[in-house]
Amino acid sequence: MPDPSPHSLEELRARLPGCRACPLWEHATQAVPGAGAAGAALMLVGEQPGDQEDRAGEPFVGPAGKLLDRAMADAGLARDATFITNAVKHFKHLPRGKRRIHQKPNAGEVDACKFWLLHEMRLVAPRVVVAMGATAARALWGGEIAINKARGQLLEREDRSLVITFHPSSILRLPDQAARERQYRLLVDDLALAAKHAA
């Protein structure tokens, strides 16, 4: 674990690029730290930066980010009033021709990156955290989590209040329009639930 604890989000951002706790830094353009309001009552956590986030250095700016923006707006949430980050800060991918194909981070990579996620949580101190998808749920709650079963409720532990929901990319990957629309509505409901408890 990279020590000692960062004292501010600025210090965390300055130190993150030097992280060598797992090998993912080697093939990524840059580490992508969380972004948003420092004292936000609501923090959203995704899996890892995608292709566009890796290039931009900002979380959720690609297609998943566009869907998330729409879902947040439909839930009555302003993006700039939240803090948005990822469980893993480097883009894991396989090169295929000119394309870079997303690879799911493994448990060791998620654990190695937890240092940064937990310090972001400590420094932002949100009332409610939203884990989007299984990787974020694993990092924040532990174990293999069935999103369908865990979603739609506020989960409480002594140190965190958590809402688990679908990852925007998993909605984009659904083959049929009706299923996409259904799951999108559930994502909006979960964001609205988190916002209500964060208010």
Site residues for ligand URA, 78-107, by CB under 6 A, read 86
| Least distance between ligand URA and beta carbon 64 (Å) | 4
Q: Does 109 engage in binding with ligand URA (CB under 6 A)?
A: no
**Nearest partner of 168 among 84, 81, 63, judged by Cα:** 63
* Cβ pair 6, 123 in contact under 8 A: yes
Q: Which stretch binds ligand URA (CB under 6 A): 6-14, 21-29, 45-53, 108-116?
A: 45-53
* The token pair that represents 173 in the structure block: 């990957």
Q: Cβ distance 91 to 47 under 8 Å?
A: no
Sheet strands (E) in the chain: 35-36, 42-46, 83-86, 93-96, 99-102, 128-132, 155-157, 160-165
Judged by CB under 6 A, which of 6, 49, 105, 126 binds ligand URA?
A: 49
Q: Exposed, middle or buried: residue 88 (CB in 10 Å: 0-12, 13-18, 19+)?
A: buried
Residue of minimal Cβ distance to ligand URA: 46
**Amino acid at position 1, single letter:** M
What does the DSSP 8-state code read for residue 27? G
We find the least distance from the C-beta atom of residue 91 to ligand URA, in angstroms, to be 9
Contact segment (CB under 6 A) with ligand URA among 49-57, 74-82, 113-121, 138-146 equals 49-57
In contact, 15 and 33? CB cutoff 8 Å: no
Single residue of 59, 130, 147, 165 touching ligand URA by CB under 6 A: 59
Residues 125-184 interacting with ligand URA (rule: CB under 6 A)? 169
Which one of 64, 71, 72, 171 is in contact with ligand URA (CB under 6 A)? 64
Cis check for the bond before 17: say yes or no (omega within 30 of 0): no
Piece of 8-16, 41-49, 121-129, 172-180 that binds ligand URA (CB under 6 A): 41-49
- Distance in Å, CB of 141 to ligand URA, minimum: 16
Choose between 80 and 156: whose C-beta lies nearer to ligand URA.
Answer: 80
Burial class for 111, CB neighbours closer than 10 Å (0-12, 13-18, 19+): middle
The verdict on 53 binding ligand URA (CB under 6 A) reads yes
Task: Kindly list the residues in this chain that would bind ligand URA in the complex (CB under 6 A).
Answer: 46-50, 53, 59-60, 62, 64-65, 86, 169
